[in-house]
Amino acid sequence: MEDIKELMLSRTWRIAFIIAALYVDAQNAQVVPALFIFGDSLVDVGNNNHIRLSLLKANFPHNGVDYPGGKATGRFSNGLNSADFLAQKLGFTGSPPPYLSLQGQANINSSIVKGVNFASGGAGILDENSGGSLSTNKQVEYYSTVYGNLVAQLGSAEAEKLVAKSLFLVVIGSNDLFGFFKSNSKLPAKYTPQQYTDLLISTFKGQLERIYNLGARKIATVGVGAIGCCPSQRSQKNKTGDCVEEENNMARNFNAGLKSLLSSQLTPNLQGLTYAFCNTYGVVSSYFQNPSVYGFKDVVNACCGAGKLNGRVACLPVVKYCSNRGEYLFWDLYHPTQIASQMLVDAFYEGSADQVSPINVKQLIST
């Protein structure tokens, strides 16, 4: 009798263990078939490494000091960036690979089936604001090629089904706004701030429509942050070191235009399209207003750099970087630290309506 009890107990424990293991697997399971990423340096995971003539690279120390192995990978961060953290949230074992790293690879089909990252540091909505980077138009062009490869690999119906269930992340616009405010910019002579914002939104509309026409149905768009509060802008354009309000005004106007585009123009006219608008400006503004609440001790200076606010010289191997990186909002002149990127993704993934609307990313992938 005791032997039977012991056997039953051992079986009970084994069953409990299996159920627990299945639960963990379910929690960590990939919740979308693929993740496709478009954007700029905030989500570039190494595309610019493969652009020979580009000066906008981050594949050198001190970038990557907190990345596994302390390796500089081309991410404009001390460690992981938002693309990495979103991939983790979705259950992927790693970020989708940079598109340019796949060129010439024999196993490219097996790589693209779980998604691709097209983002490029320095990219803009407008081609003329993208310099030697992959503009949004070029990124969409490359995605068209990937979609064609998926159709050839899986067949039209299966490729369409995979893409429709996948998540598309788009993080773009900051470089276009920075371009307007450059000291040598010719843009203010051609456009008023409102005309320029309207141009960006109308151009972006066409780009999102092209992605939709190539199968995208779930799109997470990330609004522009408070660009006037970056260490570079504070240090160079404001003697007091305060935020540059003119730049922040344009960021707010761009975000308002993007929200209107999504809700009033695209969703009513593109059948099956669902989206989440990630309110970067609002979330980051809360960090500026109450830094200690979020664990920050410094939301003004860059951790890595030199000059006023560490915002005059980029994060080059010759400069110093802070030891308490988890307490800084900014890693360098423009980019957030690893911890800030993680916090932003947390907010967008399961956040409230003031952080992400009309639904959050977790709800978006469930539609």
Instruction: Check: pTM over 0.95? Answer yes or no.
Output: no
User: For residue 126, what are its two tokens?
Assistant: 């407008």
Sign (positive/negative) of CA torsion 39, 43, 45, 51? positive
> Are 16 and 151 members of one domain?
no
Residue 253 contacts residue 194 (beta carbons within 8 Å): yes
Q: Report helix, strand or coil for 279.
A: coil
The boundaries of the domain holding residue 266 are 31-366
> pLDDT tens digits, residue range 42-99?
999 999 999 998 889 999 999 999 999 999 999 999 999 999 999 999 999 999 999 9
What percent of the chain is modeled with pLDDT above 90?
87
Confidence of residue 291 (pLDDT cuts 50, 70, 90): very high
Helix (H) or strand (E) holding 135: none
> Are 24 and 127 members of one domain?
no
> pLDDT tens digits, residue range 219-251?
999 999 999 999 999 999 888 899 999 999 999
User: For residue 201, what are its two tokens?
Assistant: 């939104």
Residue 331 vs residues 107, 231, 238, 286, 367: alpha-carbon distances, Å: 35, 10, 20, 18, 35
Confidence of residue 111 (pLDDT cuts 50, 70, 90): confident
> Are 361 and 288 members of one domain?
yes
> Are 12 and 88 members of one domain?
no
CATH number of domain containing 239 = 3.40.50.1110
Which candidate, 200, 341, 220, 224, places its Cα nearest to that of 280?
Answer: 224
> pLDDT tens digits, residue range 169-197?
999 999 999 999 999 999 999 999 999 99
Q: What pLDDT shows up at residue 12?
A: 41
Pairing of strands 167-171, 320-321: unpaired
DSSP string, 169-196: EEE--HHHHHHHHSTT-SHHHH--HHHH
> pLDDT tens digits, residue range 116-145?
999 999 999 999 999 899 999 999 999 999
> Are 150 and 260 members of one domain?
yes
Catalytic residues: 41, 332, 335
Sign (positive/negative) of CA torsion 229, 232, 233, 239? positive
- CA 108 to chain CA centroid, Å, is 23
Q: What pLDDT shows up at residue 19?
A: 34
Instruction: Give me the number of domains the chain comprises.
Output: 2
Supply φ then ψ for residue 171, to 5 degrees.
-125, 95
Q: What pLDDT shows up at residue 106?
A: 64
> Are 1 and 73 members of one domain?
no
> Are 16 and 98 members of one domain?
no
Between 314 and 16, residue with greater pLDDT: 314
> Are 207 and 120 members of one domain?
yes
> Are 151 and 209 members of one domain?
yes
Residue 1 has pLDDT above 60, yes or no: no
> Are 14 and 76 members of one domain?
no
Q: Report helix, strand or coil for 95.
A: coil
Q: What pLDDT shows up at residue 239?
A: 84
Q: Report helix, strand or coil for 167.
A: strand
Which residues lie below 8 Å from residue 120, measured CB to CB, with a gap of 6+?
A: 39, 40, 41, 44, 47, 48, 51, 130, 133, 134, 135, 139
Average pLDDT over all residues of the chain: 92
